[in-house]
């Protein structure tokens, strides 16, 4: 058995040395039509071809080192198997990345491949024109980069569906909603339920994270207002000195909150450490809740209360849904999938 | 200015409604050849075309909503702009994923797009045939999935370069080396330097991680042997009860090591907590070193000593290097790039 197309010429095979074999070469060697080669090698459904012919085609393809060409298929059908995902403007966090890891594997079961496109800024029609170079089956992109004209252009260009993701449903496309407000509301509900009335929400000072922090704060504020309590915003960089300064202020001053949603577990750990160093007791003086349910939170003393955030869908479910939307050209903006199901994990810090 | 190809027909533009415009339509509207359209829209280097003609072509393309088609270009040139990365068998860790985030953005500056392919198992010629469907400019894949025949097939199929990544340089292709042994050796060198002679290395019990753990252990063992000290392997799942059991054994038994490399910061935090709960003093009774330099390590008491792992190359550097290897068809297996430069960060736990 030869391994390369280049070596095939020494027995007079139809693929001349120096160029990759084509489906025409395979058809000639197998004694079938080019269409048959295409049917067999692409596992086309609903086509009746004898097992003997299939075996002959596969043997010829193997002999010539022929691989079907995705771009030929794209030109023929006007659409590739690519799900194009322009990079989000905010670097993807651990949650999104771990989902992505498995999503990529599951998409393959539906013959779809994820292409990450390194363009985190362009939006509107200029972006759509750029993305269309790939003739993507679907585009997966932040909602705030889409305009009505850009969505129209993608659809007209043959893209089966454009799927947005963002903090709220888009009026233009089906959306995967990442609801940071629900995370804050969950933490606040827990703190209020434990009798805390003077809440604070940490908003990370780091650019990029601050927008998520502000949305989580909004959830805290709304929950507090509904309960007749108050909530304030506390901007904090992920920095020991800044946390120490804040803790010292709370230890000596009069403006100390009795319950804090600390944005996530990492900020919560930073804050708990600083509060303890400043002589405050957690949770007696200040209750602290994080988010993400990092395993490390269980090893702290006190053990960290946290909001667990899980997808409403598994990667397998999401891949299946994406594949179905591509197959059915589902473009209904009324469709939303929540990627944030929240659940309170009460421990000792609150 | 119209936004979609579909709307263009109402003024008699050459692109009929219902199908995306082609470069032939653009050439007709601009009154130039199809080749000129291709040169202008692909920014082909070394071609002299007047600015007036370029402007006319761009205006026509904008008018018709024409986007160049990557697959047409692929068929013409035999190679796409895709860097194909089959998913690694082990889920990508935080370090790799954060590098990937920026790598994708930097690759675009070189007109390359990263496609993640959800195939974490196939290897050899069967895998190569599958990957060749994309006519990738480069394939980025774990070295243990490559065979001489598969590399030959990829090269013969038009792939400019195959780049491996793995724990050691491949004899087949240029390799990005991820040297876990160096991480263990760095931690052990530090512990030995502080007078510890009875070392242990934690190997995570989790499948996937255990292979990395074994390589880090090998680095610890080699360093210990060179210094006339000993090192032993301790398998540990990421679990509080298991850590408590181990700590109780070390607190009461006679087989307690005096220095532990705990695989990474998370395992180190788990272990330190368990040792303290068992009444042992860190570092007096047992010195503990982690790896990864997680920010949280600085907030522990004692502050966690750790091995900082950084790439020898930045994402920008790596993207530039990849692009150069593609352009020059660099296939020299003697080329290796280290992705793990280690540096000891001594704190209070050791």
The domains located in chain B, with CATH, are: 6-68 (1.10.260.40), 77-178+313-341 (3.40.50.2300), 180-309 (3.40.50.2300)
Residue written as token pair 């309170």: A344
pLDDT digits (tens, 9 = 90+) for A35-62: 888 888 876 667 788 999 999 998 898 8
Q: How far is B179 from chain A (nearest CA, A)?
A: 23
Q: How far is A247 from chain B (nearest CA, A)?
A: 14
The confidence band for A11, taking pLDDT boundaries of 50, 70 and 90, is: very low
Strands B113-117, A113-117: pairing is: antiparallel
B185 close to B223: Cβ distance less than 8 angstroms: yes
* Residue B164 to residue B177: CA distance in whole angstroms: 8
The confidence band for A283, taking pLDDT boundaries of 50, 70 and 90, is: very high
Most confident by average pLDDT, A276-290, A301-315, B60-74, B295-309: A276-290
Residue written as token pair 């070469």: A25
The confidence band for A79, taking pLDDT boundaries of 50, 70 and 90, is: confident
* Residue B139 to residue B85: CA distance in whole angstroms: 6
Nearest CA in chain A to B118: A105
Q: Which residues of A touch B41 (CB under 8 A)?
A: none
Say whether B270 sits in a helix, a strand or coil.
helix
CB of A298 within 8 Å of any CB in chain B? yes
Q: How far is B182 from chain A (nearest CA, A)?
A: 26
Would the ipTM clear 0.90, i.e. be above it? Answer: no
Reported as type and span, the H/E element at residue A70 is helix A70-77
User: How many other β-carbons are positioned within 10 Å of the β-carbon of residue A157?
Assistant: 26
Contact A74 B78 (CB under 8 A): no
Q: For residue A228, is it left (φ>0), alpha (ψ between -120 and 50) or beta?
A: left
The confidence band for A83, taking pLDDT boundaries of 50, 70 and 90, is: very high
* Residue B60 to residue B56: CA distance in whole angstroms: 6
CB of A65 within 8 Å of any CB in chain B? yes
* Partners of A141 in beta bridges: A164
Low-confidence ranges of chain B (pLDDT < 70): 1-20, 43-45, 91-98, 311-312
Interface A-B: count of C-beta contacts within 8 A: 173
Interface of A with B in 96-155 (CB under 8 A): 97-98, 100-102, 104-109, 113-120, 125, 129-130, 132-135, 149, 152-153
pLDDT, residue B238, reads 93
CB of A255 within 8 Å of any CB in chain B? no
Nearest residue to B250 via CA among B222, B214, B276, B215 = B276
Contact B101 A92 (CB under 8 A): yes
A20 close to B156: Cβ distance less than 8 angstroms: yes
């Amino acid at each position: 058995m030869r391994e390369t197309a280049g070596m095939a010429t020494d027995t007079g095979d139809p693929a001349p040395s120096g160029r990759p074999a084509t489906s025409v070469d395979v058809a000639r060697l197998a004694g079938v039509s080019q269409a048959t080669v295409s049917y067999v090698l692409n596992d086309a459904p609903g086509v009746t071809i004898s097992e003997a012919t299939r075996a002959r085609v596969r043997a010829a393809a193997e002999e010539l080192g022929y691989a079907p060409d995705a771009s030929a298929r794209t030109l023929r059908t006007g659409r590739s198997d690519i799900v194009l995902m322009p990079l989000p403007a905010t670097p993807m966090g651990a949650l999104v990345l771990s989902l992505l890891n498995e999503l990529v594997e599951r998409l393959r079961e539906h013959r779809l491949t994820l292409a990450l496109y390194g363009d985190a800024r362009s939006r509107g029609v200029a972006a759509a024109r750029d993305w269309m170079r790939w003739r993507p089956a679907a585009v997966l992109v932040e909602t705030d980069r889409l305009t009505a004209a850009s969505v129209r252009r993608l659809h007209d260009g043959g893209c089966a569906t454009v799927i947005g993701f963002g903090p709220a449903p888009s009026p233009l496309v089906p959306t995967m909603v990442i609801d940071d407000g629900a995370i804050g509301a969950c933490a606040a509900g827990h703190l209020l339920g434990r009798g805390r009335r003077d809440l604070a929400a940490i908003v990370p000072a780091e650019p990029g994270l601050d927008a998520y922090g502000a949305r989580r704060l909004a959830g805290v504020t709304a929950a507090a207002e509904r309960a007749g309590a108050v909530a304030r915003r506390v901007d904090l960089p992920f920095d020991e000195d800044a946390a120490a300064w804040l803790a010292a202020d709370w230890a000596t001053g009069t403006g100390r909150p009795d319950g804090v949603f600390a944005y996530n577990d990492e900020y919560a750990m930073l804050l708990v450490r600083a509060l303890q160093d400043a002589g405050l007791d957690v949770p007696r003086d200040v209750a602290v809740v994080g988010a993400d349910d990092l395993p490390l939170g269980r090893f702290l003393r006190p053990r960290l209360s946290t909001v667990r955030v899980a997808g409403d869908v598994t990667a397998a479910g999401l891949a299946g849904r994406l594949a179905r939307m591509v197959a059915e050209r589902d473009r209904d903006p009324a469709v939303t999938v929540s990627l944030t199901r929240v659940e309170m994990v009460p421990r000792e810090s609150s």
